[in-house]
Structure 1
Amino acid sequence: MENKKTATNKVLWIFAIGQLGWSILAGIISNWLVFFYQPSQEELAKGQTALIPQGTFIGLTVIGVITAVGRIFDAVSDPYIAGKSDSMKHRLGRRIPFMRLAAVPFGIVTVMMFISPFEAGSKGNVAVLFVFAMLFYLCMTCYCTPYNALIPELGSTQNARINLSTYISVTYFFGTGIAFFLPSLAGIFQDSMGYANGYRISIAILAAFAVICMLVPAFLIDENEYVDTTPSKSSAFSSLLSTFRNKDFRIFVCSDILYWIGLTLFQTGLSFYVTVLLGLDTKMTSTLFIIMTVSSLVFYPAVNVFSKKLGKKKLISFAFLFFSVAFIVTAGAGLFSIPAMAYGVIIAVLAAVPMAILGILPQAVVADISEEDKLATGESRQGMFYAARTFAFKMGQSLAMLLFTSIALVNSDVKKGETGYGLGYRLTAVIAAVLCLLGGLVFLKYDEKKVLKRIEEGRKDA
């Protein structure tokens, strides 16, 4: 096998711009889709309408079922696309062809998810939303699975891997932060275009910018210069089974599922925590997210340094515990004689610490495990490891969407100012805290020393 170039920091930053793009689109859906289609009393008063039926069936809401099914479809398609990417024979490599093909459709279907062509409350709107939700998650898989597979391939050393994980975490936070500005941007158009159309126009603007970002690494990085593009010979199904036979990976995935259920509950509920529990305006969501993001970025250099000295396992376990504390504090929003904005800042700062750690290190852990597995088996299946991870945590996210949209309805008929108002939202934060704590306990079983030792031995033998 010919020697490949080592990716410079410039190349790694170019790669990270792709994450900026797809995190904007993912942030729009994860933070605002439920907010848009299952509006609170406050948003209905501002002019939003119930575009889809708001009733429940066996305790499940329409938007909850659609998002959950979409995530399940997304999770199931991940291993298939990963297998196709791992075995791809193309002059551009195994990953870049998928990224080029998926970027533009990914942006278009994001916009279309917010288009409701039928009258408010119509089942036709449900059907349209369902179709575009499935297309959204398919496009996300086609771009993100090959993209993530490049992480261990471009990050060829421990330091480069942690640096790359840091860079993509930075762009992920900025992308998610841009998505949080959606209400502020929509406010510019709502006076003339109406509540819903203000959001739609703003989403189209953000999606166009996101597509450009996703195309940057797809056209500026020559995969063949830096990566071993030898196709895997295993079928997608057998490769997936082999991936889950790795004990350390199974431990990581179990903890990751618990974390993502908790985090998805928190992210989906954030706009409701701000508007319902704290009684602040929707636009304050972006302000608090800026505070959380800036605070988190302040910790990035420390995470980068200490993870190299102390190891990733200790910091990740600490982050799980810290997140649990932040979620419990969130559950108490509006119950204490603390100014609403001050309480929001407290939540943002508390969440910033674990967000910095968990935004960087889990990707590097998967890269470690996949490299150790490659040394042990001789199979280059990086795409499948990331697909298996996303398969698992997206199943968790599906469950989280069902949980949130159903639990949020607890006491939903209670008027503002009455006892028990917002109880459903508080319960989602409490559940998120418990799940994160459990995730941390599971992750303590991960044998980081063994994995890193085998990687070091493999490099000496190479």
Structure 2
Amino acid sequence: MTSPGASLAPPELDRLPKSVVFAVSAGHGGMSILINLLSILLVFFYLPPDSSGLPQLVTDAKFLVVLNAIVIIAAAGRLLDAVTDPAIALFSDRSTHKRGRRIPLMRLGALPAGLAVFLMFLPPVKEVSALNIVWLLGIQVVLFIALTAYVTPAFAIVADLGRTPEERLDLTTWTSVAWAVGIVIASLTPFITALFENSGVSTIASYQWAVGIVVSISVLMMYVPVFMVDEPRYARSKPTTATLRQSLRVVMENSFFRYYVAADFAYFCGLAMIQTGILYYITVLVELEEELTAPLLGIMVVMALFLYPIVNRQAKKRSAKQMVIFAFVMTSVMFFGIFFLGRYPVPAIAQAVAVVVIFAVPFSILSVIPGWILSDIAEHSIMTRGEATTGMFFGARTFAQKIGQTVGVVIFALLLNFGRDIGDDLGVRLSGFGGMALYALAAIIFTRYDEGKLRSEMAAAGH
């Protein structure tokens, strides 16, 4: 066991070279493409509105009154995550591989994750069929194991590479920039689909070609850090000797982490509702073409890119806690406005642009600050407990994140039972109230996070 307060940083370098920052960021951009592609498109692909031109591929029959097939499939995957997330996090923390604790796992996970995402859009039957449900369940197993093998180490390596709070903030900012770019690339899928449709390809085949192109880009990006980052040279790679039970105890007994992860759960739950709902908001509520998804998200990301440097500077001067709470409250208000989309006395395109412009502000904050906060929580734990369980902190966060995303998809899919088509859109509109409540809850929970205590203890220890 490492002694409390011991430094695990390689002594020979003061700052990370830009090439390492670029490589790690590229990997985050690649995994962002995969995750956001599923969030944006999967429900729309299997339970499309009538105006989409896509065939319905799974039954929308209700089980236990409100549960549909997509809800049950999504929930089933989380049972697997309950085992794989802590197991992979511990394996990473304990690894003695010569290339480090994180990079070898990322190398193993990237290609299978990309292939699994692609296969999820290749249903064996191009109409409603129970076989499509079995297919999704089976591919989901491969996807969750492979994606966890990449995502958990990819987040943990950010904390391993950063030696100071400022360095961790800067690295988190750049990975957030890459994550935002990944969202834009994922949102290009409907636009690429339209290009294939215009050349005479069927709608479903056009989506599959588009998904294949986007997934290929994501996998290439995910392998950039695998080949460019010399982890033993730049990162704190001293393995932990803690068992699974000891590592989980370190994480779950951490009061800073408990409030952090509870708020983070609500945040990702609401974010999944936005991502799952965006095609419905565009095509059903404001009745625009689905190809506008990419330009609209592009506007949001361009604004966020301009805001990231401001967020970075303000985080070094202001309370990170207060910035996060402000972002939660602002997003809650934005969700309230979604209920009324298509009913405002302004052009539909203006309504859609207003939503993405407003969301760009909290998005720029929430895609940078929470990751930085968790890096500091993990660093504080190393300082006070003497055990390098960074991977377990990020594994626990990844698990909560995926549970939150699943709950968000489940809530949205449940609400679609109340209407998902033009003129019958109550379910889509109700998602606005659901998101409003989730982000308000996140803001309330995060008021309990004791930022002052964590900062003062780290400063006293010279961190």
Q: Same fold (TM over 0.5)?
A: yes
- Give 1:324's match in structure 2, choosing from 316, 323, 332: 332
Contact 1:82 1:236 in 2 (8 A): no
Alpha-carbon distance in 1 for matches of 2:248, 2:184:
33
- Give 2:192's match in structure 1, choosing from 165, 185, 196: 185
Could you say if the C-alpha distance between residues 201 and 435 of structure 1 is closer, same or farther in structure 2, counting changes exceeding 3 Å?
A: same
- Give 1:454's match in structure 2, choosing from 450, 454, 457: 457
Q: Structure 2: which 5+ residue stretches go unaligned?
A: 1-7
**Cα deviation digits, residues 178-214 of structure 1 (max 9, x gap):** 1001011011222433111111111111111111111
What is the CA RMSD across the aligned residues, in angstroms? Answer: 1.4
Partner residue in 2 for 1:106? 113
2:47 counterpart of 1:56: no
Contact 1:148 1:386 in 2 (8 A): yes
2:153 counterpart of 1:146: yes
TM-score (norm 1): 0.95
**Cα deviation digits, residues 121-172 of structure 1 (max 9, x gap):** 1111111111112211111100010111111111111111111111011100
Indicate the SS of the match to 1:260: helix
- Give 2:123's match in structure 1, choosing from 91, 110, 116: 116
Partner residue in 2 for 1:433? 436
- Give 1:170's match in structure 2, choosing from 177, 181, 184: 177
Alpha-carbon distance in 1 for matches of 2:195, 2:317:
48
2:26 counterpart of 1:17: yes
2:199 counterpart of 1:196: no
* Amino acid across the alignment from 1:19: H
Alpha-carbon distance in 1 for matches of 2:290, 2:75:
25
2:397 counterpart of 1:389: yes
Count residues in correspondence. 452
Aligned-pair distance for 1:237?
3.1
- Runs of 4 or more, structure 1, over 6 Å off, are none
* Amino acid across the alignment from 1:436: Y
Alpha-carbon distance in 2 for matches of 1:393, 1:119:
32
Indicate the SS of the match to 1:53: coil
Contact 2:36 2:275 in 1 (8 A): no
Indicate the SS of the match to 2:60: coil
Aligned-pair distance for 1:119?
4.7
Contact 2:93 2:240 in 1 (8 A): yes
Alpha-carbon distance in 1 for matches of 2:248, 2:118:
32
Aligned-pair distance for 1:311?
2.5
- Give 2:272's match in structure 1, choosing from 264, 279, 288: 264
Contact 1:252 1:443 in 2 (8 A): yes
Aligned-pair distance for 1:10?
3.1
Q: How does 1:333-412 map to 2 (within 5 A)?
A: 333-412=341-420
Contact 1:293 1:352 in 2 (8 A): yes
Aligned-pair distance for 1:106?
1.2
* Amino acid across the alignment from 1:260: F
Contact 2:285 2:422 in 1 (8 A): no
Tell me the percent identity. 34
Indicate the SS of the match to 1:280: coil
Contact 1:93 1:224 in 2 (8 A): yes
Contact 1:183 1:282 in 2 (8 A): yes
Aligned-pair distance for 1:260?
1.4
Q: Structure 1: which 5+ residue stretches go unaligned?
A: none
Indicate the SS of the match to 1:409: helix
Partner residue in 2 for 1:247? 255
Contact 2:108 2:146 in 1 (8 A): no
